[in-house]
């Protein structure tokens, strides 16, 4: 049986907990692939991972290989094929008596974490490893990790599939459609309230989604507001951030890279900009992506961008440039 080695940070948290059975069950990598899990947590809570290990064992999955718990990223990163970097410091936490509220402080605290994780993965993971950053601020965390990984053969991504799934759900509700009817959803830019969900290039049954909906006022007001603010709405409603949907989006992103993308679709994630669509190089930026038969990810080129869309893309680009400036001493 083929094997895949998967690392998950923040594995004792809600998103990590929601991820583990779906990684181990055969759903993600297939029924003929044995999944070896390296679970990583900070030393203060690493003991909680033993409960997760026992639960996974008790599921009786034929596709589950080894489950090992770590608090040392260097030890955990050896021979890794996939790393899901879920753990990060959230806004509002108190550290050394100071409540972390400002974006610059949040970026710098997480920057230290992702500096070390990037180095560990660059030195110890497989040369063709794929790394998906889920922990926020995901784009800039990924930029820091990628920079310190210093391994061009590895693929670093930040997750925007959650935003894409939220956008598809709103369109499906508006048009009384199945989610599967909506394809080619792109999230441009940052995984933040500035991200831009693109309905001009999305398709419904082969037609432009914006043309199918034919309600520009809804697109520019309700749709954009709901999708951009969905994370906050969930926190307000349940008293905690998205967990099940975030884990699902991470699984969607992994699966999207495991086989060649169909001609009638693409997927959304943030990758290192190469100057496409005039986005400055050196940002981890949300683009439309395709994977080839070998799992290599590339940016879909030559999509038309309206003046309205360009205005929104410029806003999210500027936010990422500002974030990069805030952590310039870490790059």
* Residues 6 or more apart in contact with residue 323 via CB below 8 angstroms: 103, 107, 137, 139, 140, 190
**Apex 88 CA angle, 251 and 17, nearest 5:** 45
Q: Among 60, 61, 57, which residue's Cα sits nearest to residue 69?
A: 57
User: Choosing from 34, 148, 168, 191, which is the catalytic residue?
Assistant: 191
Q: Is 148 a catalytic residue?
A: no
Alpha helices by DSSP H, the chain: 14-24, 49-59, 73-76, 103-124, 138-149, 161-175, 209-213, 216-218, 224-228, 230-238, 244-256, 307-326
Please work out, in degrees rounded to the nearest 5, the angle formed at the alpha carbon of residue 85 by the alpha carbons of 105 and 245.
100
Residue 48, number of CB atoms within 10 A of its CB: 15
- Find, among 196, 82, 190, 84, the residue nearest to 139 by Cα: 190
Return the SS3 of 179.
helix
Distance in angstroms (rounded) separating the CA atoms of residues 233 and 230? 5
Residue among 116, 37, 50, 48 nearest 84 (CA): 37
* Active site positions, annotated: 191
């Amino acid at each position: 049986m083929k094997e895949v080695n998967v690392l998950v940070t923040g594995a004792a948290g809600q998103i990590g907990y929601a991820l583990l059975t779906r990684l181990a069950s055969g759903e993600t990598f297939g029924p003929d692939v044995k999944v070896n899990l390296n679970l990583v947590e900070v030393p203060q809570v690493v003991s909680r991972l033993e409960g997760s290990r026992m639960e996974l064992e008790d599921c009786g999955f034929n596709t589950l290989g080894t489950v090992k718990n770590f608090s040392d990223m260097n030890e955990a990163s050896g021979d890794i094929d996939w790393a899901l970097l879920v753990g990060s410091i959230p806004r509002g936490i108190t550290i050394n008596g100071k409540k972390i509220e400002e974006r610059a402080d949040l970026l710098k605290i997480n920057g230290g974490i992702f500096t070390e994780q990037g180095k560990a993965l660059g030195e110890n993971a497989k040369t063709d490893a794929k790394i998906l950053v889920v922990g926020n601020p995901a784009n800039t965390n990924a930029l820091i990790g990628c920079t310190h990984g210093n391994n061009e053969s590895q693929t670093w991504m930040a997750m925007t599939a959650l935003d894409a799934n939220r956008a598809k759900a709103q369109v499906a509700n508006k048009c009384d459609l199945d989610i599967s009817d909506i394809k080619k959803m792109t999230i441009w830019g940052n995984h933040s309230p500035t991200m831009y969900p693109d309905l001009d290039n999305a398709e419904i049954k082969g037609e432009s989604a914006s043309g199918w909906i034919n309600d520009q006022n809804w697109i520019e007001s309700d749709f954009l507001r709901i999708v951009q603010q969905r994370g906050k709405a969930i926190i307000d409603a349940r008293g905690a951030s998205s967990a099940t949907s975030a884990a699902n989006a991470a699984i969607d992103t992994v699966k999207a890279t495991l086989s060649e993308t169909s001609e009638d679709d693409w997927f959304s994630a943030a990758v290192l900009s190469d100057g496409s669509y005039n986005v400055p190089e050196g940002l981890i930026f949300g683009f439309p992506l395709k994977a080839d038969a070998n799992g290599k990810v590339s940016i879909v080129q030559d999509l038309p961008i309206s003046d309205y869309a360009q205005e929104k893309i410029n806003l999210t680009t500027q936010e990422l440039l500002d974030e990069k400036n805030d952590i310039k001493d870490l790059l």
